[in-house]
Amino acid sequence: MIYEPAEDSELLLEAALEEIKEDDEVIEIGVGSGFVSEKLIDKCHFLLATDISPYAVKEAKKKGIEVIRTDLAKGIKKKFSLVLFNPPYLELEEELKFDDWLDKAINGGKNGVEVICRFLDSLAEILSKDGRAILIVSSINIPRIFDEIEKRGYRYSVIKRKKLFFEELFALKVENKS
């Protein structure tokens, strides 16, 4: 019922550990098992996590993570200097869908980019002016996702990558264009 840490989780953690600063106020969207947040909680000023799954929220709370159950960051009225998101980036075929909480963790919608686009659309509400977001994407989503980022007025750079046998994962640093 909870997305277990995998290569994409490890990539997000590696990128976050290099990016995080002591005075950062951090939000991890889609905390899942808490794998990333629990390792960052003592490395920043403040950390909040969200997840849509009640099971993930319960698991994260057990690890001492402050977590809110919500879709992405809906309803959160705070700006963060570091936003972390390892989104679902695959399009699940109908026969692989079970309409459960795990589906929400791995199904990125049409072409695997619907959830990422919703995240990008809401990023301005939670990202501070000089803040940065780390977003995990797959070679499956490229170059479309680069266009979606730029279309929304952000710039991006690839800060880490991890090659798997069937795809390559990228940690993108997304920032305001000013």
Peptide bond into 54 cis (omega under 30): no
Residue 113: band (very low, low, confident or very high) from pLDDT cuts 50, 70, 90: confident
Is residue 97 over pLDDT 50? no
Residues 6+ apart with CB under 8 A from 105: 2, 3, 30, 32, 53, 56, 88
**Looking at residues 82-89, what average pLDDT do you find?**
90
The neighbour count for residue 124, using CB atoms within 10 Å, is: 12
Q: Topology of 7-176 in CATH?
A: Rossmann fold (3.40.50)
Give the chain's mean pLDDT. Answer: 89
